[in-house]
Each structure stands twice: as structure tokens, then as C-alpha cells.
Amino acid sequence: MISFSDLPIRDDLRGKSPYGAPVAAVPVALNVNENTHPIPDEVVADILESVGEALKGANRYPDREFGELRASLAGYLGHGLDASNIWAANGSNEVLQQILQAFGGPGRSALGFAPTYSMYPLLASGTGTSWIAADREADYAISPDHAAKWVREARPDVVIICAPNNPTGTPLGLDVVEAVYEASDGIVVVDEAYQEFMPEDSSSALTLLPGRERLIVSRTMSKAFAFAGVRVGYLAADPAVTDALRLVRLPYHLSVLTQAAAIAALRHSDEMLATVHDIVRQRDRIADGLRGLGYLVHDSGSNFVLFGGVSDPHAMFLALRDRGILVRDVGITNHLRVSAGTEAETTAFLEAMIDLGPASTAASMSGLRPSSTQSARSA
């Protein structure tokens, strides 16, 4: 038996590892930022009925323009958007891949601020786009001047900013987006996968779209809508952007079943988003509990918490797994990340952390600063 490296694979893919998170059959899985709350029964019933109707016509190709879904997503986002501003695909990873296929590619580059979502450099590699890992400032923040300086000097064709950031949870001011856009003459993507977990009075980058034809705001139904297994991601942008993405999308890329399920879920957006408030409460419980144990807890606008002061992240990961709890070692020195679960799951995690004891005073706090060389294996 041979490995894939023995095949005539592209040279730029040799030595790379595929994306993946540890998988284990445990009672409390808090490692991949899923919404652990189930979809309400009444919403499930409507989705099943809609999918059943769609199946009757499954012998035909789906609407390749997915017009009804785009209109539904525009209605959900508001901000004066209509179907012409919306694009969707099988998860936001595919949306980002299509963006890089259209605006990146051989001889072009994409820039992000590390540590950030680990799929960005993998998507760049898969599309032949050079990846530039800019650094962050203290506590993983980015200031407008710092971001603009990187963009002006690197001159990337695509900039991807995760807001709030994964795996750190760091919120991002709109002044940073404005500064990056002004400094760039390429495409600027703001990945708002976790936007629904921000405070309700927080402004979205959607407010910046008018007059900024190179700005794209990416979203997902995986997190707040508890639709991770359905795979629906989408973006809002100038209609010219959606025209460009038609050049690279596969024919009929969204199945009739996916479209029907997403449209039905959007009809119940209030019920689907009701769990967000509980998840935020559990996130804050985790943050308070870990601070009480002496851990360094980073501010989070997402559905997870990054905490430092862990002297041996791998050992703690294993100790928690032995207790039936799965968290994530994201590759940041002395840190682990934990998703906010249900009240019972959060309680189980906090009780396990109490059992393991307070943060070690021997942990090197000098290793808790961000570095562009640190990897982040995050979902």
C-alpha cells in the first residue's frame, strides 16, 4: 500500500495535512463549535414536509440559481439586501473556496491575521493561492493601523478577516474593516460565521456594503441555526461578485433537498435562533468559571472560549477526554478552546475542570502572546 505522497500529486500539496478535528464517542463534545441544542420539533416537522415535497421533483436538476433560497437569506439579513446580493453554497468553506477560485489562484495571494481559522490557508493552497499570515497585536486584537499597514505592504489580492475570530473569539471593530478596505485594491472578505453570538447592539459588516463593491460578508447556518450537518453557507456582496462566482461554481451545486431544508429553517428563524441566548449564557458561565480557577480567559464574541495558563494542553485534553468531555487543542501555546454547550454540558465541563484543579502557577505566561508562526487547528 502506498500513501498519497507517492502519487503524482501537485508539488505544493506535498507535506500538507488534511483538515480534521479529533473524533471520539464521548457524552460531551465541545470541540468543533457546534450548536449542541437540537432543532425544535415543530421546525423539524416543517423541514421534513418541505424536503418531502422537494423529493417529488428530485428526478430533475435543482434550481441552479436557487432564487427562493437567496431571497429568503436576503430577508433574514435585512439591511436593504435582495436576492441579487446573495450567494450560497454547501457550507461557508465552499463559499470561501469559490471566492478564492474567482479572485485568487496561481500568481495571486490571500492574507489573514494569524492565529485564525485553519481552513483559510488550506483553501488558499487548494486553489493555488499564496497565503500570507499577518500577525495580531496584544490579546489577539487587530487595530486599524496595524491591519492597514500589513495590507499596504503585502498587497494581497484577497484579505480574509474572521469576525469574531476563530479560534480566539476576538471581536473586530468595523473601523478595522474600513481601514483594510481603504488600504486594499483587492477583495476583502469579512467572515461573520459567529456574528449571531455577538451582543445584539453590535454592528455587522453588512452595514458597510453600500458603495464598497469589493467587500464580501460571509455567513453560515451551521452555528446559530444548528444546521452544521446540512451544510449551508452564504455571503452578501455587490451583485457583480455573485456574477463572478457563477464562473467557478459547479453546475447545480445546491441540491433540492438542501435548498428546501434551508428555506424551511429560515421561515422559523426566531425559533432557530432562540438557543443563541442560552449559548451566550453558557459561554459566559465557562469564562467566569475558568477565571475563578485562575486561567487566562480571552474575550469572546462567539460560541466558544479560548483559555490560557494550561501548562500541558495535550495532557489536559486527554484528562478531559477520559472524563467524557472533548475540547480542542488549537495549537496555541498553553491554550485550549472549549465550545459552549447546553447547561448540562457546560456544568459537566466546569465540574471536570474543578476536579483537575486550578491553573498551574508554573505555566509560562510569556508564551501566551499571539504569533504569526503559531498554528490554529480550528473548526
CATH code where residue 73 lies:
3.40.640.10
The mean per-residue pLDDT over the stretch 70-81 comes to 98
- pLDDT recorded at residue 249: 97
| 276 and 261 belong to one structural domain | no
Q: Is the pLDDT of residue 57 over 80?
A: yes
pLDDT at 341 over 90: yes
Cα distances (Å, whole numbers) of residue 211 to 84, 180, 215, 254:
15, 15, 9, 29
Residues 6 or more apart whose CB falls under 8 angstroms from that of 6 comprise none
Tens-digit pLDDT profile for residues 197-213: 999 899 999 999 999 99
Torsion of CA 103, 105, 106, 107, to 10 degrees: 30
- Per the DSSP assignment, residues forming a β-bridge with 233 are 89, 220
Asked if the model's pLDDT at residue 111 lies above 50, the reply is yes
pLDDT in tens, 229-278: 999 999 999 999 999 999 999 999 999 999 999 999 999 999 999 999 99
**pLDDT tier at 25, thresholds 50, 70, 90:** confident
pLDDT, average across residues 48-71 = 97
Q: Choose one of 268, 301, 334: the last residue of a domain.
A: 268
Over residues 333-347, the mean pLDDT reads: 97
Same domain, 142 and 227: yes
373 pLDDT exceeds 60?
no
Neighbours of 145 (CB within 10 A): 13
Could you give the percent of the chain with pLDDT greater than 90?
87
Are residue 53 and residue 179 in the same domain, yes or no? Answer: yes
Q: In the structure grid, which three cell numbers stand for residue 207, read together?
A: 452595514
Q: How confident is the model at residue 360 (pLDDT cuts 50, 70, 90)?
A: low
Please report which confidence band the pLDDT of residue 359 belongs to, taking 50, 70 and 90 as the band edges.
confident
**Shared domain check, 190 and 149:** yes
Helices assigned H by DSSP within the chain: 41-55, 67-77, 92-103, 119-126, 144-154, 174-183, 239-245, 256-267, 269-292, 313-322, 343-356
* Residues 259 and 358 placed together within one structural domain of the fold: no
Query: 174-183 and 144-154 helices cross at what angle (nearest 10)?
Result: 20
Tell me the pLDDT band of 96, cut-offs 50, 70 and 90: very high
Q: What is the pLDDT of residue 361?
A: 40
Instruction: Say what the pLDDT of residue 13 is.
Output: 81
The answer on 328 and 256 residing in a single domain is no
Q: What is the pLDDT of residue 17?
A: 78
Residue 135 has pLDDT above 80, yes or no: yes
| Residue 328 DSSP class | B
What is the domain-level CATH number for residue 292? Answer: 3.90.1150.10
The Cα 103–Cα 157 span in angstroms is 7
Q: Does residue 365 surpass a pLDDT of 60?
A: no
pLDDT at 324: 96
Return d(Cα 101, Cα 157) in angstroms, integer. Answer: 12
Q: How many domains does the chain have?
A: 2
- Residue tagged 459566559 (cell numbers): 284
Phi and psi at 307, nearest 5°, equal -130, 140
CA dihedral of 43, 302, 196, 65, whole degrees rounded to 10: -80
Tell me which of 4-13, 218-227, 316-325, 367-376 is least confident: 367-376
Is pLDDT above 50 for 363? no
Q: What is the pTM of this model?
A: 0.92
Residue 22: the pLDDT is 65
| Domain span including residue 23 | 4-39+271-367
Q: 210 lies in a domain?
A: yes
